[in-house]
Amino acid sequence: MSIDIVARALAAKARPVDSYPGQVATRCYTNNFASPRKQANANSMHIAREAMFTMPQIAFANWYVSTASYAETGSGGTASFQAKIQYPIGSKWQTVRWNGEDGSPVVADGATSPLSDAGVPLATPIPDGAAFLIHVHAEGEVATVLTYSSAIDRRTAYDRMTLATSGLADSTSIDNVQDGALITPCAILYPTRKPTVLICGDSRGFGFGDMMDGSGDLGEMARSIGPRLGYINACLYGDRLDMFMAGHAQRAALSDYCSHILCNYGINDMQSLPQRTADQIEADIQGFCAVFADKRVFWNTLTPASDGKDWRSLADQTPQSVSQGQRIALNDHLRRNVRGSNGAPLGLTGTFDSASVVESSLNSGKFAIGNGGQAITADGLHLNYIGYAMIANATALDTARIAR
């Protein structure tokens, strides 16, 4: 190699990456529920993944992905949002403004609010890695949209939310807390040179079966992404890839704030009616990559699904026959980034092999046993806290592979 070629290569490597307005915090979720109570006060905790000297821009959604139809659905009427930010936690709240005004413009049914104002000095800059709080007072014409799960309390010690039909004044002191629910911005943006991630997928990405800890990150992907990078978690329990492909405009729009897409769809397509083959799912993966043609898209291999009574024993586990064959085929094709039926590229930037971490052996269809002999699943379909942590600790989702 000539000296000139080497010099050009070193110069290109040293050239700084241009900054862009990207998702710079953890724990932004898309909504999955609409409450007929029209008013809400909510506080949510986030971890900064970029040092912020001025106020980040935030947006709130007046839409949710229905757990009944898996369609993006408006609240049924307009909405407005008033917001505040707090850093350090316990200090004075600072008002977030839109066009210099306290409160967002009226947000149409099914729409996302404009971004709040940029460049507003923070009373105290937020360091990279610091926890901060966002407060919102939401007023819905018909309903309030929020994130809800009866299967897991997604809240940290700082997350609080209360709902009312009427008469609820804006207050950061929140009593009468709504269990199992929270409201977060759908985006928290700031100029960054780091990669930023939109997470799409099902209950495994949502964190079904996981347990809240100090990080606040839940599920198969966020536990690996959150320690380094900001993310928007658009996963929903029960969701399928074919349902996403049938309607995804609002979730896809959130990718404008992210450089990378990480997805784990597939198991529900195989196991719930109408059941689909690996080849059908792979066709949709190709379509999914086309939706995000200007992004780097990674896919997780599908972790096992097994029947059993005691997942501390391999002998007691039986791979679920409804999905095992197709799961093996899909994982094989994901690892090679090709569509099995015709050998055409799936279009992925890469694959994160989560299955290899929590499966007892390649394609066994059985969950591995934890290092202390523990079960890493409680239901044979979703990992528990131990299983999700195994993926994160094994760096199966190696964020070093995610580069701008």
pLDDT tens profile 288-318: 999 999 999 999 999 999 999 899 999 999 9
Q: pLDDT higher for 6 or 247?
A: 247
- Per-residue pLDDT band for 182 (boundaries 50, 70, 90) equals very high
**124/129 Cα distance (integer angstroms):** 14
Please name which of 349, 255, 352 lies closest in space to residue 297, comparing C-alpha atoms: 349
**Token digits of residue 168:** 């609820």
Give CA–CA dist 147/167, Å, rounded. 22
* Structure confidence at residue 16 (pLDDT): 52
Q: Cβ contacts of residue 175 below 8 Å, gap of 6+?
A: 162
Render 62-73 in DSSP notation, one character per residue.
SEEE-TTT-SEE
Task: Identify whether the C-beta of residue 159 lies closer than 8 Å to the C-beta of residue 28.
Answer: no
R_g over Cα of the chain? 21
Strand pairing category for 79-86 and 94-98: antiparallel
C-alpha dist (Å) from residue 183 to 39, 40, 81, 134, 160: 12, 9, 11, 10, 9
pLDDT at 152: 82
Write out pLDDT tens, residues 27-61.
999 999 999 999 999 999 999 999 999 999 999 99
Average pLDDT score over the chain: 94
| pLDDT score of 132 | 98
| Residue 247 amino acid letter | G
Structure tokens at 153: 């309390």
Q: Which residue has the tokens 């269990």?
A: 179
Return the percentage of the chain with pLDDT > 70, whole number.
96
pLDDT of 7 reads: 38
Q: At what angle do helices 278-291 and 324-336 cross, to 10 degrees?
A: 40
Does the structure show a pLDDT above 70 at 13? no
| Phi and psi, residue 68, nearest 5° | -90, -45
Q: What integer pLDDT is reported at residue 9 of this predicted model?
A: 37
pLDDT in tens, 249-298: 999 999 999 999 999 999 999 999 999 999 999 999 999 999 999 999 99
- Please state the rounded mean pLDDT for residues 76-100: 98
Residue that has been written with the tokens 């923070």 in this structure: 122
| CA–CA distance, 133 with 34 (Å, rounded to integer) | 23
pLDDT at 3 over 50: no
pLDDT at 87 over 60: yes
Instruction: Compare 17 and 334 and report the one with higher pLDDT.
Output: 334
Q: Are 97 and 77 in contact (CB under 8 A)?
A: no
Q: Are 260 and 197 in contact (CB under 8 A)?
A: yes
How far apart are the C-alpha atoms of 21 and 28, rounded to whole Å? 16
Query: Distance of alpha carbon 320 from its chain centroid, rounded?
Result: 27
CA dihedral for 285, 288, 294, 297, sign (positive or negative): negative
User: Any idea which of 4-8, 19-23, 119-123, 173-177 has the lowest mean pLDDT?
Assistant: 4-8
Domains, the chain, ordered by start: 33-185 (no CATH), 195-401 (3.40.50.1110)
At 129, is the pLDDT very low, low, confident or very high (cuts 50, 70, 90)?
very high
pLDDT (tens digit per residue) in 348-373: 999 999 999 999 999 999 999 999 99
